[in-house]
Structure formats: structure tokens, C-alpha cells
Amino acid sequence: MALKILLTGFAPFMHYKSNPSGKVAMSLNGQKIGEAEVVGRVLPVEHKLAASQVHEFMMTEKPDIVIGTGIFASRGCISLENIAINRYFFRDRDNEDETYEALYEDGKEAYFSTLPLSGIKDALQGKGIPAEHSFTADTYVSNEVFYEIMRSAEKMGIKKAGFVHLPISEANVIDMDSLHYVQRLGIPSMRRSTMEKAMRLIIEESVKLY
């Protein structure tokens, strides 16, 4: 019997007209990769709602492995997130409001990924895809979803779960045409086809020795 992998990405948000994490998740939806069948789902970039939806997807699909993905605009490689923290912090630049709170008052301070991150990094770089360990998934919705994935995985007895940040795509950089050219020169990006290849490798490594 094939393993089931729940792969989540995010919908477009703020000035991003497209979100490669959501597009990759849906591109792989329904595909069989190695011994795994992929269920791809897209989450809204919205505080509390995204975490609620990923929990519902996990309860409905009852996956063997869960991998959440999002984008991190300042990074040029695949970021293998190690730790999710029980904190949410967001500053609204338009009105300067800040939100700082615990995700769960009675929750653990942090959860560590249970994906085989070192093996994943070696596999990615062995295929010419830059990858690195990350010890901060930030404090926005990606971290919130990562925390919920690990919290729910612990309760459901799911052995392998975690979160991966992707760079933004070339299309995202093109969409930033309104920025000053000096700012655009320094923005890293990755082709979506490379991101999809990376996620296939991540899934293959996650299935090994399950």
C-alpha cells in the first residue's frame, strides 16, 4: 500500500501575484512519487485560518507524511526548516500595528522537524539544487502552519512532518517591476521547475526508511 503525503503550499498574498509554493503543491497533487501518493493543498496566507485549514486537511486525509511549503523572498536556496516556535509576530507596515502572541497558551515552546533533513540536503545538492538548514521559519504564517503541522502530527502519531521554504520565482521578480532597479538587482529567485524537482527529491528522501 502506497504512503500518502500531504503537501501544502500557499495562495498569493500581498504584492505577490502568484505563489510558487501553492503552484508546486497543486502540480504534484495526485502524482505518485516513489512509494508515495501526493495530496496537494493550498492554504490562505491568513493568521489562524491557515493553521485551522492545515489541521482539517490532516484530519481528513490522514497522511503518513506531511510537508508544508512557503516562500521566503530573501533566500536563494531551498531552506530546510528545523524548528517551529510557539509565537506569532507581525507588523502591519501600512498602519504600524503589531501583533505579538503565543499560538497556543498551553502549547510547547517549540517543535523540531521530523523529516530527514540532512539526507534531504545531500540529495538536493547532489542534483545541483542549492539547499541549506534553517533555524528560523520567521514568525509569520509559515511558522504558524509549521507549528500546527508538528502539533497535529504528534497527536496523530505521524512519524515524519516538517516545513520547507522555497525562494521566490522569476515571475515574482518580474512582478516587482515597480521597485527601484537597484532593489530588484539584489533579489534572489529560482525557476519553478527547479522547485518542483526539489520537492520531488524531498518526497523521495522522506519516504526512505519510513
Report pLDDT digits (tens) over 194-207. Answer: 999 999 999 999 99
Domain count, the chain: 1
Q: pLDDT per residue over 5-62, tens digit each?
A: 999 999 998 878 899 999 999 999 999 998 899 999 999 999 999 999 999 999 999 9
Place 70 in a pLDDT band, splitting at 50, 70 and 90: very high
> Contact at 8 Å (CB) between 112 and 80?
no
Query: Which range marks the domain in which residue 51 is found?
Result: 3-207
pLDDT at 205: 96
As a whole number, the mean pLDDT across the chain is 93
Contacts of 56 (CB under 8 A, 6+ apart): none
Which residue is associated with the grid cell 528545523?
A: 82
pLDDT at 94: 62
The order of strands in the sheet holding 36-43 is 32-33, 36-43, 3-10, 65-71, 160-166, 78-81, 131-134
pLDDT at 1: 67
172 Ramachandran zone, left/alpha/beta (phi>0; psi -120 to 50): alpha
The count of residues in the chain is 210
Q: pLDDT per residue over 73-112, tens digit each?
A: 889 999 999 999 999 998 776 666 788 899 999 999 999 9
Here the CATH number for the domain that contains residue 191 is 3.40.630.20
Q: pLDDT per residue over 131-182, tens digit each?
A: 999 999 999 999 999 999 999 999 999 999 999 999 999 888 888 776 666 5
pLDDT at 177: 75
Give the chain's end-to-end CA distance (angstroms, integer). Answer: 13
pLDDT at 91: 78
Which residue is associated with the grid cell 508546486?
A: 24
Rounded CA separation 178/195 (Å): 25
Rounded CA separation 19/65 (Å): 23
pLDDT at 176: 77
pLDDT at 15: 79
